[in-house]
């Protein structure tokens, strides 16, 4: 089955629908909605099709992986080292997408999933969670030369939410970026005609999503000493929601030390524009 439109992207939503519903009620959006918005920001011809992989969805009859010019793998509250049926299924699907030569981009759990699927290792980060803004992400020499970061400075901040990290990259991987919390903040895996670009942070997110994640886990933040009360968590979430948008608060941006790399939506999601240009559009042209 050949789909209509210019650029066809398969979105592998790796979070259970129920957990996504909780995030929406807290003021966020679903993973596929974020990816759709981020991709369209860089190419209005993009069309997406979502599979909720954590809930066992499969492509409908008559549609196959080869109908897509690229795939994106979302974040998830799951851990790739868990012995769960849905995780095993996701690992198998990620491996199949890669081996079929479909250009793939993964954020957070997406990077971890492909790493584990291709022979690397993922662990609970011994340094703890990274939540809100990942500070001081530094490009390696390879990262400074890689097209993924053509529109990024050598050091930048990014929105994030993760407790796991890549411990060891698989064969064929190149480290592109690190910071003081996670050695692997970005990497690419190239094997023959197969290509994966992955980041530990979330270039697709906005500040309202970070606020929703924080609000939803108020007690956890208190238990970990990141806030002193539920009222304080609510105040943090409120300020995050006010950081950007039509009535964005410059005072809050200044107080939080936020710059254009994380405030401006197009700059924040620039990795997607680079991926579309260098990996997806060439495949779309070849398929046409």
Give the CATH number, domain containing residue 110: 3.40.50.880
What distance in Å separates the CA atoms of residue 42 and residue 273, rounded to the nearest whole number?
5
The reply to whether 227 falls in a domain is: no
pLDDT of 4 above 90? no
- Paired residues of 70 in beta bridges: 9
Q: How many Cα atoms sit within 13 Å of 87 on the Cβ side? A: 14
List all residues 6 or more positions away from 251 whose beta carbon is below 8 Å from its beta carbon.
none
The reply to whether 220 falls in a domain is: no
pLDDT of 34 above 50? yes
Could you tell me the pLDDT band of residue 163, with boundaries at 50, 70 and 90? very high
Give pLDDT, residue 127.
95
Spatial contact of 139 and 155, defined as CB atoms under 8 Å apart: yes
Among the ranges given (135-139, 157-161, 163-167, 256-260), the one the predictor scored with the smallest mean pLDDT? 256-260
Give pLDDT, residue 244.
85
> Across residues 124-130, what is the average pLDDT?
96
Could you tell me the pLDDT band of residue 5, with boundaries at 50, 70 and 90? low
At residue 51, the 3 state secondary structure works out as strand
Closest CA to 78 of 103, 109, 56: 109
pLDDT tens digit sequence for 93-122 = 999 999 999 999 999 999 999 999 999 999
Backbone phi and psi for residue 160, each to the nearest 5 degrees, phi listed first: -155, 160
Among residues of the chain, what percentage have pLDDT more than 70? 97
Helix H or strand E encompassing 195: strand 194-199
Average confidence score pLDDT of the chain: 94
> Across residues 131-153, what is the average pLDDT?
97
The reply to whether 239 falls in a domain is: no
pTM of the model: 0.95
pLDDT tens digit sequence for 226-270 = 889 999 999 999 999 999 876 778 899 999 999 999 999 999 999
For the chain, the first-to-last Cα distance in angstroms comes to: 13
Give pLDDT, residue 1.
37
Residues identified as active-site = 108, 202, 204
What distance in Å separates the CA atoms of residue 113 and residue 202, rounded to the nearest whole number?
15
Spatial contact of 70 and 105, defined as CB atoms under 8 Å apart: yes
The reply to whether 222 falls in a domain is: no
The reply to whether 112 falls in a domain is: yes
How many Å separate Cα 65 from the centre of its chain? 20
pLDDT of 38 above 70? yes
The reply to whether 269 falls in a domain is: yes
Q: Is 186 exposed, middle or buried (0-12, 13-18, 19+ CB in 10 A)?
A: buried
Give pLDDT, residue 2.
41
The reply to whether 244 falls in a domain is: no
The reply to whether 157 falls in a domain is: yes
List all residues 6 or more positions away from 246 whose beta carbon is below 8 Å from its beta carbon.
none
pLDDT of 74 above 90? yes
What distance in Å separates the CA atoms of residue 259 and residue 156, rounded to the nearest whole number?
9
Spatial contact of 15 and 31, defined as CB atoms under 8 Å apart: yes
Domains identified in the chain, total number: 1
Angle formed by the axes of helices 230-242 and 207-216, nearest 10°: 170
What distance in Å separates the CA atoms of residue 175 and residue 255, rounded to the nearest whole number?
32
pLDDT tens digit sequence for 202-224 = 999 999 999 999 999 989 989 98
Angle formed by the axes of helices 207-216 and 17-25, nearest 10°: 100
Could you tell me the residue range of the domain that residue 57 belongs to? Answer: 7-207+259-287
């Amino acid at each position: 089955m050949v789909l209509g439109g210019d650029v066809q992207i398969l979105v592998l939503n790796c979070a259970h629908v129920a957990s996504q519903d909780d995030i929406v009620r807290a003021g966020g959006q679903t993973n596929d909605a974020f990816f759709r918005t981020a991709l369209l920001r860089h190419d209005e011809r993009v069309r997406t099709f979502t599979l909720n992989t954590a809930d066992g969805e499969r492509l409908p009859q008559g549609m196959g992986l080869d109908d897509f010019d690229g795939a994106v793998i979302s974040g998830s509250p799951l851990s790739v080292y868990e012995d769960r049926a849905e995780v095993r299924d996701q690992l198998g699907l990620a491996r199949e997408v890669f081996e079929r030569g479909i250009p793939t981009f993964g954020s957070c759990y997406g990077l971890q999933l492909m790493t584990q699927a291709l022979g690397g290792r993922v662990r609970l980060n011994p340094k703890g969670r990274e939540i809100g803004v990942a500070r001081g992400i530094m490009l390696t020499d390879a990262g400074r030369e890689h097209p993924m970061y053509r529109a990024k400075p050598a050091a930048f901040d990014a929105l994030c939410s993760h407790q796991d990290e890549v411990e060891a990259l698989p064969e064929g991987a190149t480290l592109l970026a690190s910071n003081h919390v996670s050695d692997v903040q970005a990497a690419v895996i190239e094997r023959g005609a197969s290509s994966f670009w992955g980041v530990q942070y979330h270039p697709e997110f906005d500040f309202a999503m970070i606020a929703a994640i924080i609000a939803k886990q108020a007690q956890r933040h208190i238990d970990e000493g990141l806030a002193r009360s539920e009222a304080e968590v609510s105040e943090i979430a409120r300020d995050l929601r006010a950081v950007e948008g039509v009535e964005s608060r410059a005072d809050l941006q200044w107080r939080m030390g936020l710059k254009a790399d994380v405030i401006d939506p197009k700059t924040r999601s620039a990795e997607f524009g680079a991926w579309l240009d260098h990996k997806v559009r060439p495949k779309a042209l070849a398929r046409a």
